[in-house]
Amino acid sequence: MPKPGELTFVAPRGAKPPRHLADLSPAERKEAVAELGEQPFRAKQLSNHYFGRMSNDPASWTDIPAASREKLTESLLPELMKVVRHVSCDDDATRKTLWRLFDGTLVESVLMRYPDRVTMCISSQAGCGMNCPFCATGQAGLTRNLSTAEIVEQIAAGMRDLKTGEVPGGEARLSNVVFMGMGEPLANYNRVLASIRRLTDPAPDGFGLSQRGITVSTVGLVPAMHRFADEGLSCRLALSLHAPDDELRDELVPVNTRWKVAEVLDAAWNYAEKSGRRISIEYALIKDINDQAWRADLLGRLIKGKRVHVNLIPLNPTPGSKWTASRPEDEREFVRRLQAHGVPTTVRDTRGQEIDGACGQLAAAG
Ligand code: SAH
């Protein structure tokens, strides 16, 4: 929760985040620079600093004359967000950042270090309109979409802090990005897609991260899933299924009343085929709600033989929730039954629990 005084400035409702270099494609950057009366090649120089060198300190960009630098910085590199605070746990291997955006909106990102990789979990919207009853973010509704640059800056800031060794644990490189923070990424489609381009375009156009290291997680917006499949990307798609039957899924993931389990799975298989990537099925195990052995069998029958992997997430109870995580023996049986159908299944580790940085807990604005 914000502390008193943290929300000092609130922009008028509906005001747009300022334009930023990371909102723009390489061609748009050239145009924007030319409109400022600067040589178009300055766009490449800016990109080289921001994306290639991961620098956000224009004072060090000495290949650009000071006067131009000031003009370009003012118009293309506004400060989009301020760190309200970082909170760490898991022996400093997990760091959650609370950001305040230009209009006072609060969003969060989480950086997780593992022995072999570094993953950032980022937000695509402030709040979320999908209303899943077990998710903390869903309870407060949608505040607004984040701009492309507001999405990118969460990662850019994490990469800069990793590079300078500011994140506990020493210097490292970011390898994975998951759109599993606040918001439904496919409900903010164009901006999320543009952010993926900024992250994965080779430097200096973008950060040059591997598409394979990026996971977009969705409640199952079927038309957007089809559109995403046609983008020709090799990102991973995670589908938040949480129930194999429409009756229960209608309750746990309300958008299921619009697009049913069968349709959502079809859209997922289409993505798997076009991208060549396994679908990751997300399933939060909720005690006595969706963790029965028969539901494991039903799920197994629905997805066996497909290019798929199941990620079981022990439910993180949200404050005041009537639901809790499954009993260990039920969790084990659920895993066993899926595996008996030949479905690769893992139980996700729940990083960041004590700093409210775990799945579905990113509720700073709530
Ligand atoms: N809107 C997207 C991405 C954000 S949530 C989506 O729903 O996929 C990322 C994952 O965390 C989703 O699978 C979501 O269902 C899950 N999640 C949300 N709240 C949770 C909770 N309290 N416990 C466990 N998982 C949760």
**Structure tokens that stand for 50 in this block:** 């921001």
The answer to whether residues 67 and 128 belong to one domain is no
pLDDT (0 to 100) of residue 354:
73
The answer to whether residues 57 and 141 belong to one domain is no
Q: Is the CB of 284 under 6 A from ligand 1?
A: yes
Q: State yes or no: pLDDT of 37 exceeds 50.
A: yes
Q: Is the CB of 240 under 6 A from ligand 1?
A: yes
- 99-110 pLDDT, tens digit per residue, is 999 999 999 999
Domain assignment of residue 228, yes or no: yes
Domain assignment of residue 161, yes or no: no
The answer to whether residues 57 and 138 belong to one domain is no
Q: State yes or no: pLDDT of 348 exceeds 50.
A: yes
The answer to whether residues 324 and 184 belong to one domain is yes
- 9-23 pLDDT, tens digit per residue, is 556 667 899 999 999
Instruction: List C-alpha distances in Å: 28 to 35, 38, 39, 75.
Output: 10, 14, 14, 14
Nearest-atom index, ligand 1, CA of 239: 8
pLDDT (0 to 100) of residue 360:
65
Atom 15 (ligand 1) nearest CA: 240
189-200 helix and 222-229 helix, angle to the nearest 10 degrees: 30
Q: State yes or no: pLDDT of 7 exceeds 50.
A: no
Q: Is the CB of 310 under 6 A from ligand 1?
A: no
The answer to whether residues 133 and 35 belong to one domain is no
Atom 8 (ligand 1) nearest CA: 218
**Structure tokens that stand for 127 in this block:** 């709040």
What's the whole-model pTM score? 0.95
Which of 121, 153, 235, 359 is catalytic? The answer is 359
The answer to whether residues 257 and 338 belong to one domain is yes
Q: pLDDT class for 366, splitting at 50, 70, 90?
A: very low
How many domains does the chain contain in total?
2
The answer to whether residues 185 and 64 belong to one domain is no
Mean pLDDT, residues 214-230 taken together: 98
Mean pLDDT, residues 246-266 taken together: 98
pLDDT (0 to 100) of residue 166:
87
Domain assignment of residue 321, yes or no: yes
Q: What percent of the chain has pLDDT over 70?
A: 94
The answer to whether residues 42 and 135 belong to one domain is no
Domain assignment of residue 6, yes or no: no
The answer to whether residues 28 and 135 belong to one domain is no
Mean pLDDT, residues 266-291 taken together: 98
Domain assignment of residue 257, yes or no: yes
The answer to whether residues 190 and 336 belong to one domain is yes
Domain assignment of residue 68, yes or no: yes
**What is the CATH classification number for the domain harbouring 25?**
1.10.150.530
Which range marks the domain in which residue 189 is found? 124-146+179-351
**What is the CATH classification number for the domain harbouring 308?**
3.20.20.70
Instruction: Work out the mean pLDDT of the chain and round it to a whole number.
Output: 93
Nearest-atom index, ligand 1, CA of 240: 13
Is 132 assigned a ligand-binding role in the annotation? yes
pLDDT (0 to 100) of residue 1:
45
The answer to whether residues 191 and 45 belong to one domain is no
Mean pLDDT, residues 136-141 taken together: 88
How many Å apart are CA 254 and CA 245, to the nearest integer? 13
The answer to whether residues 201 and 62 belong to one domain is no
Mean pLDDT, residues 242-271 taken together: 98
Domain assignment of residue 285, yes or no: yes
How many Å apart are CA 268 and CA 364, to the nearest integer? 31
Q: pLDDT class for 168, splitting at 50, 70, 90?
A: confident
Of the candidate ranges 70-74, 80-84, 96-100, 163-167, the one whose mean pLDDT is the lowest: 163-167
Nearest-atom index, ligand 1, CA of 317: 22
Of the candidate ranges 3-7, 85-89, 168-172, the one whose mean pLDDT is the lowest: 3-7
| For ligand 1, mutation pick of 240, 252, 349 (most atoms within 8 Å of CB) | 240
Buried residues in 204-239 as b, exposed as e (16+ CB within 10 A): bbbbebebbbbbbbbbbbbebbeebbeeebebbbbb
Verify whether residue 329 is a known catalytic residue. no
Domain assignment of residue 160, yes or no: no
Name, in order, each residue with C-beta under 8 angstroms of 62's C-beta and a sequence gap of 6 or more.
none
How far does residue 284's CA lie from ligand 1's centre (Å)?
8
Atom 7 (ligand 1) nearest CA: 219
Residues for the chain: how many in total? 366
Verify whether residue 359 is a known catalytic residue. yes
Q: State yes or no: pLDDT of 206 exceeds 80.
A: yes
